[in-house]
């Protein structure tokens, strides 16, 4: 949440108190104007658009209800964590859980038990660990409204152990798991990290994020060419001893760990900073990555958890989750289903050659993983090309914009791309870039732009 919006919330709190005490019409008008301004700034900051009739007013009412919830929590002295206007502040808690969480995560196979990281009396562990500082964690990613948290959790753990063993941090493909790991896992409808590890082992490796980018959908067929591009390998996987925070700490001292938590509470939805000690149970519904642990200045122990909801949630995409609680399952069930990949070799398969550019015609190309869009056509021949920065994109009829595969319907009037013709879900339309001339163009009607 930006500093501007946070400061405005403080002023709004004063106005709310003033209006309740005095009932002055001018104060109420001023309050309403400020509420609208906060909402508009939040919309810009979070790149939100609404297409449905009355949708914006409905979202505003939900937003203000969440504002009041945030203010009520933050007004209590000595809280260990703060709430804020996260990217989910225009959703009810029911909508949030339906869109970003899926069915309860439960092991349906025998646990891969191991004693590698079983805590033993006399074990000496560091007081704090942060794998981000050690270069083993890629920047926070965003799963979108696809329930693919399991893929992000598993990939984050694989990225970590690969960096530890090879010294190279490589961002790997969650989309390959979503598209291709379908024997047990269910794409956007949920899955388990252990099955993802098993897929990577059986496949002989996993491709990079750059070559097989995330699309936030599971409607695509598995790309067999990219599935067979094995850039990073693992040897196996093991489960951390269940319901044992000391063993989880020991494991985390050695590598990033895939964990599952219950993340469906309203406080978690609007978490902004601090050590989360709020309400949550053990109905595991979200896969994340534990990347460290520490203790706050106030003496509160915590886990460092990397989420997959983008950087405009929590502490730039992370949450400090309370550690060392009385319940053996850990806060939000963090110690119930922890697992990790194993890797012994410091060598991965040879890197594949760089991807070839996309050929538009004999005279023009676009960069790899993009789409050629004709700008000017005459009698069936295209005389100028532009490039949409996504594969399998829709080229809009205005000649300058395009839409990603997951949002293929061009709304030229709104400048957005819809998921379906009448869907309220949309993203901002993309702008085409110029195509590259590979040979001297033979036509002189126009130049490529």
Query: Sign of torsion, CA 340 96 264 304?
Result: positive
Split at pLDDT 50, 70, 90, the class of 115 is: confident
- One DSSP character per residue, 207-223 reads -BTTTS---S-S-SPP-
Which pLDDT score, from 0 to 100, does residue 224 have? 87
- With contact defined as beta carbons under 8 Å apart, do 281 and 332 qualify? yes
Which of 15-24, 74-83, 135-144, 347-356 bottoms out in mean pLDDT, i.e. has the lowest? 15-24
> Which residues carry out catalysis?
149, 286, 307
Which pLDDT score, from 0 to 100, does residue 72 have? 97
Structure tokens at 222: 């598995």
Which pLDDT score, from 0 to 100, does residue 52 have? 78
Tell me the mean pLDDT in the region 413-424: 89
Checking if the pLDDT of 326 tops 70, the result is yes
Split at pLDDT 50, 70, 90, the class of 27 is: low
Which pLDDT score, from 0 to 100, does residue 447 have? 37
- With a pLDDT cut of 90, the percent of the chain lying above it is 71
The CA-atom distances, in angstroms, between 70 and each of 2, 13, 83, 277, 294 are 15, 11, 5, 15, 26
Q: Compute the distance between CA of residue 57 and CA of residue 47 in angstroms, rounded to an integer.
A: 17
Spacing of C-alpha 375 from chain mean position: 34
Q: What angle do CA 258, 260, 264 make, to 5 degrees?
A: 140
Tell me the mean pLDDT in the region 315-331: 97
**Which single residue is written with the structure tokens 């009698």?**
379
Checking if the pLDDT of 103 tops 90, the result is no
Reported as type and span, the H/E element at residue 320 is strand 318-322
- With contact defined as beta carbons under 8 Å apart, do 63 and 35 qualify? no
Which pLDDT score, from 0 to 100, does residue 251 have? 98
Question: Which CATH number is associated with domain 93-342?
Answer: 3.90.70.10
Q: Compute the distance between CA of residue 20 and CA of residue 11 in angstroms, rounded to an integer.
A: 14
Q: Decide which of 251 and 34 is more confident.
A: 251
Q: Decide which of 2 and 79 is more confident.
A: 79
Split at pLDDT 50, 70, 90, the class of 9 is: low
Checking if the pLDDT of 28 tops 80, the result is no
Q: Compute the distance between CA of residue 249 and CA of residue 251 in angstroms, rounded to an integer.
A: 5
Checking if the pLDDT of 113 tops 60, the result is yes
Q: Decide which of 446 and 233 is more confident.
A: 233
Split at pLDDT 50, 70, 90, the class of 6 is: low
The CA-atom distances, in angstroms, between 74 and each of 212, 267, 409 are 42, 11, 41
Split at pLDDT 50, 70, 90, the class of 23 is: low
Reported as type and span, the H/E element at residue 401 is strand 401-403
Which residues contact residue 406 at a Cβ distance below 8 angstroms, ignoring those fewer than 6 apart? Answer: 144, 215, 216, 217, 419
Which pLDDT score, from 0 to 100, does residue 323 have? 98
- In this structure, the number of other CB atoms found within 10 A of the CB of residue 208 comes to 18
Q: Compute the distance between CA of residue 370 and CA of residue 393 in angstroms, rounded to an integer.
A: 8
Question: pLDDT of 226-272, one tens digit each?
Answer: 999 999 999 999 999 999 999 999 999 999 999 999 999 999 999 99
Question: pLDDT of 39-58, one tens digit each?
Answer: 999 999 998 989 878 899 99
Q: Decide which of 107 and 273 is more confident.
A: 273
- With contact defined as beta carbons under 8 Å apart, do 96 and 181 qualify? no
Checking if the pLDDT of 24 tops 80, the result is no
Classified as helix, coil or strand, 63 is helix
Which pLDDT score, from 0 to 100, does residue 12 have? 53
Question: pLDDT of 383-402, one tens digit each?
Answer: 899 999 888 999 999 989 99
Which pLDDT score, from 0 to 100, does residue 449 have? 41
- In this structure, the number of other CB atoms found within 10 A of the CB of residue 235 comes to 12
Query: Sign of torsion, CA 313 264 108 256?
Result: positive
Structure tokens at 333: 């069930």
Which of 96-105, 214-223, 400-409 bottoms out in mean pLDDT, i.e. has the lowest? 96-105
Structure tokens at 137: 């964690």
**Which single residue is written with the structure tokens 């400061």?**
7
- With contact defined as beta carbons under 8 Å apart, do 57 and 63 qualify? no
Closest CA to 305 of 413, 91, 197, 157: 157
Classified as helix, coil or strand, 186 is coil
Classified as helix, coil or strand, 278 is coil
Q: Decide which of 354 and 301 is more confident.
A: 301
**Which single residue is written with the structure tokens 């399998």?**
392
Tell me the mean pLDDT in the region 26-39: 81
Domain ranges across the chain: 1-78, 93-342, 358-437
């Amino acid at each position: 949440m930006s500093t501007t919006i946070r400061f405005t919330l403080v002023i709004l709190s004063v106005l709310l108190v003033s209006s309740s005490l005095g009932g002055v019409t001018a104060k109420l008008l001023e309050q309403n104007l400020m509420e609208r301004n906060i909402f508009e700034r939040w919309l810009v900051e979070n790149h939100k658009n609404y297409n449905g009739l009355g949708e914006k007013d409905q979202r505003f009412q939900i937003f203000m209800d969440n504002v009041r919830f945030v203010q009520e929590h933050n007004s209590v002295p000595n809280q260990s964590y703060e709430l804020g206007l996260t990217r989910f502040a225009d959703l009810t808690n029911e909508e949030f859980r339906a869109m970003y969480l899926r069915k309860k995560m439960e092991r349906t196979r025998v646990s891969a038990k191991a004693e590698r990281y079983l805590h033993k009396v006399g074990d000496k562990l560091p007081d704090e660990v942060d794998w981000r500082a050690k270069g083993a964690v890629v920047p926070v990613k965003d799963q979108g409204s696809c329930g693919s948290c399991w893929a992000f959790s598993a990939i984050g753990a694989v990225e970590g152990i690969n960096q530890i063993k090879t010294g190279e941090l490589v961002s790997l493909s969650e989309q390959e798991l979503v598209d291709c790991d379908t024997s047990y896992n269910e794409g956007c409808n949920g899955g388990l990290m252990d099955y993802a590890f098993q897929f990577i082992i059986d496949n002989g490796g996993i491709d990079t994020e750059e070559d097989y980018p995330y699309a936030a959908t599971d409607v695509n067929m598995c790309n067999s060419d990219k599935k067979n591009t094995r850039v990073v390998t693992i040897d196996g996987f093991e489960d951390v001893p269940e319901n044992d925070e000391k063993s989880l700490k020991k494991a985390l001292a050695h590598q990033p760990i895939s964990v599952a938590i219950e993340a469906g509470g309203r406080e978690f939805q609007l978490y902004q900073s601090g050590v989360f000690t709020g309400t949550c149970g053990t109905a595991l519904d979200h896969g994340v990555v534990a990347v460290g642990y520490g203790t706050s200045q106030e003496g509160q122990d915590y886990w460092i958890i990397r989420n997959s909801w983008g950087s405009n949630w929590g502490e730039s995409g992370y949450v400090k989750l309370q550690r060392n609680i009385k319940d053996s399952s850990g806060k939000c069930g963090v110690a119930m289903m922890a697992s990790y990949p194993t890797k012994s070799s410091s060598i991965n398969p040879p890197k594949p050659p760089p991807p070839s550019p996309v050929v538009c015609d004999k005279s023009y190309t676009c960069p790899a993983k993009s789409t050629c869009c004709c700008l000017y056509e005459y009698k069936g021949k295209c005389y100028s090309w532009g490039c949409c920065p996504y594969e399998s994109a829709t080229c809009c009829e205005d000649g300058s914009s395009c839409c990603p595969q997951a949002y293929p319907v061009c709304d030229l009037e709104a400048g957005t791309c819809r998921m379906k013709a009448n869907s309220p879900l949309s993203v901002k339309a993309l702008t085409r870039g110029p195509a590259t001339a590979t040979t001297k163009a033979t036509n002189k009607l126009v130049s490529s732009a």
